[in-house]
């Protein structure tokens, strides 16, 4: 039989009969990799009898569920709240939406060395010791000796923690079927390979097949499965995009692995709120939750500094105070530079145009650098007003008051649009000692009973009003 190959996209899983620079399905560049489909079919037939007993069990259980499927009215469906299992780390429970869910499958991604394996080892040790849960740690990257050394270094009581060093999917499924653990950690999904495919571990086909089998196992056996995933140089999870669609929860580690603080963000959660953020500090004995995360995002200046403003951002259900820093300098090249860290660079260009058109502040000859302190990434548009005022502060060399907070979205017409949960933002700022706030007019408290004692509010409807108030403070 002649060998036949196809090219599979690492981003979306789409196929092409020949190599192309750009995937026709998702538009990504240089993501097509070669896969041998003939060998996979022949290997499948060769190992059919040996492997089908593991797959058949899961399929039969799944079919048992499917046989109950019928057209139903929503009012007739019996619903229940999914019970939660606390992990021992309040910040991780926050990211999960309240704790682990039985039968849920989670994908955790992050840069190498940022703390994924350390965090999960801490969680399993806690669940084994405090809740007497039946757990299993499957390692495909590290040897048992390396994991044992980490447990001792972290001073964990993990002598009885079950550990399996294996990368063959069928063997892993067989052991899970026999042991019936409540919680399984797979470190990592890119190292697993299945006998039914001939491609190398980490390929699109292998990652997709292994994830599908583990997802089916989690749903049919009510086992909580946590998958560790590699990330690309851009910071997104490696492998086909379908991997994220298969699982219930996707968590990303953010921040620099060389810094002390780690941020764990939920970008998908079928059992809780999206964009919840857990904040950890890396210590000698592992990751510890940070009780007051706003403190790490605020720089401590001895005196007021031009080019800084305090933003009250909303991460999931939690308001956070983050210092936004701006530096403007005369450009010595033909094209002024625009650089952001933690914020959207394209949105910065838009804000500079709005600032010029509707507030008369010209920055075309200036290099503009914007930074969100602490390594946090801010995606919500409510950061617009804080960015604008930081830019004006740096350009005019006029420091903002140290007790002032800012939030609000800016439109192309120069209007200042409201931000969600404005009252919660103001309460968090007041709790940390801030006494002044520039905010959208629509976020003003509707009555006196909602006003915050000791907080002086400056509502604005347009960007020029905000700039004028800043100059008079």
Query: Which residue stretches of 222-290 are H helix?
Result: 242-246
Q: Is the model's pLDDT at 57 over the cut of 60?
A: no
Q: Is the model's pLDDT at 389 over the cut of 70?
A: yes
Q: Which of 66-70, 92-96, 305-309 has the lowest mean pLDDT?
A: 66-70
In terms of Cβ atoms closer than 10 Å to its own Cβ (0-12, 13-18, 19+), residue 223 is: buried
Instruction: Name the E strands within 198-283.
Output: 224-229, 249-254, 261-269, 277-283
pLDDT band for position 124 (cuts 50, 70, 90): very high
The three-class DSSP label of residue 108 is strand
pLDDT (mean) for 26-35: 81
The predicted structure's pLDDT at residue 41: 43
CA dihedral 165, 170, 173, 174 (to 10 degrees): -90
Q: Is the model's pLDDT at 137 over the cut of 80?
A: yes
The predicted structure's pLDDT at residue 112: 86
Higher per-residue confidence, 421 vs 8 = 421
Q: Is the model's pLDDT at 310 over the cut of 80?
A: yes
C-alpha to C-alpha distances, 318 to 36, 91, 290, 294, nearest whole angstrom? 48, 11, 13, 10
pLDDT (mean) for 102-114: 91
pLDDT tens sequence across 181-207: 999 999 989 999 998 887 788 888 888
Q: Is the model's pLDDT at 330 over the cut of 50?
A: yes
The predicted structure's pLDDT at residue 234: 61
pLDDT band for position 16 (cuts 50, 70, 90): confident
pLDDT (mean) for 108-132: 93
Spatial distance between the Cα atoms of 407 and 294, rounded to a whole number of angstroms? 15
Higher per-residue confidence, 408 vs 78 = 408
pLDDT (mean) for 313-327: 91
pLDDT tens sequence across 247-300: 999 999 887 777 788 889 999 999 988 888 899 999 999 999 988 888 878 877
Task: Extract the tokens encoding 341.
Answer: 């860290």
Q: Which of 19-33, 136-150, 354-368 has the lowest mean pLDDT?
A: 19-33
For the chain, what percent of residues have pLDDT higher than 90?
57
Question: What does the longest C-alpha to C-alpha distance in the chain come to?
Answer: 81
The predicted structure's pLDDT at residue 213: 94
DSSP 126-144: HHHHHS---EEEEESSS-H
Higher per-residue confidence, 61 vs 197 = 197
- State the pairing for strand pair 366-372/338-341: parallel
DSSP 304-319: --TTEEEEEEEETTEE
Bridge partners (DSSP) listed for residue 269: 249
Spatial distance between the Cα atoms of 451 and 278, rounded to a whole number of angstroms? 29
């Amino acid at each position: 039989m002649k060998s036949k190959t196809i090219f599979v996209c690492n981003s979306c899983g789409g196929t092409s009969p020949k190599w192309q620079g750009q995937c026709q399905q998702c538009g990504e560049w240089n993501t097509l990799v070669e896969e041998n489909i003939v060998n996979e079919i022949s290997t499948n037939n060769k190992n059919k009898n040996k492997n089908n007993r593991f797959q058949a069990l899961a399929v039969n259980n799944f079919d048992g569920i499917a046989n109950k499927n019928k057209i139903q009215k929503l009012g007739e469906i019996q619903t229940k709240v999914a019970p939660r299992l606390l992990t021992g780390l309040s910040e991780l429970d926050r990211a999960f939406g309240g704790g682990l869910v039985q039968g849920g499958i989670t994908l955790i991604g992050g840069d190498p060395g940022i703390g994924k394996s350390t965090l999960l080892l801490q969680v399993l040790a806690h669940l084994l010791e405090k809740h007497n849960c039946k757990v299993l740690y499957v390692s495909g990257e590290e040897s048992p000796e390396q994991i044992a050394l980490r447990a001792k270094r972290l001073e964990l009581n993990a002598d009885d923690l079950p550990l399996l060093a294996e990368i063959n999917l069928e063997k892993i499924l067989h052991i899970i079927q026999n042991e019936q653990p409540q919680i399984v950690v797979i470190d990592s999904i890119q190292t697993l390979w299945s006998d039914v495919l001939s491609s190398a571990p980490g390929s699109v086909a292998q990652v997709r097949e292994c994830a599908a089998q583990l997802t089916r196992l989690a749903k049919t056996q009510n086992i909580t499965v946590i998958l560790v995933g590699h990330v690309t140089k851009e910071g997104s999870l490696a492998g086909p995009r379908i991997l994220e669609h298969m699982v219930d929860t996707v968590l990303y580690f953010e921040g620099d692995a060389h810094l002390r603080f780690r941020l764990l963000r939920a970008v998908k959660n079928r059992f809780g709120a999206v964009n919840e953020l857990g904040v950890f500090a890396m210590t000698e004995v592992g990751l510890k939750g940070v009780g007051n995360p706003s403190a790490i995002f605020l720089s401590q200046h001895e005196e007021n500094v031009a080019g800084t403003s305090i933003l009250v951002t909303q991460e999931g259900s939690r308001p956070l105070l983050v210092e936004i820093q701006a530096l403007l300098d005369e450009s010595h090249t033909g094209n002024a530079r625009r650089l952001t860290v933690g914020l959207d660079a394209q949105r910065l260009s838009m804000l500079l145009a709005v600032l010029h058109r509707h507030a008369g502040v010209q920055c075309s000859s200036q290099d503009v650098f914007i930074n969100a302190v602490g390594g946090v990434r801010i995606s919500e548009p409510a950061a617009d007003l804080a960015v604008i005022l930081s830019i004006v502060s740096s350009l005019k060399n006029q420091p903002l008051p140290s007790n002032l907070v800012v939030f609000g979205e800016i439109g192309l017409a120069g209007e200042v649009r409201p931000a969600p949960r404005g009252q919660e933002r103001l309460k968090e700022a007041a709790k940390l000692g801030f006494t002044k706030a520039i905010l959208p007019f629509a976020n003003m408290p509707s009555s006196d009973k909602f006003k915050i004692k000791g907080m002086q509010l400056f509502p604005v409807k347009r960007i020029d009003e905000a700039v004028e108030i800043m100059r008079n403070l």
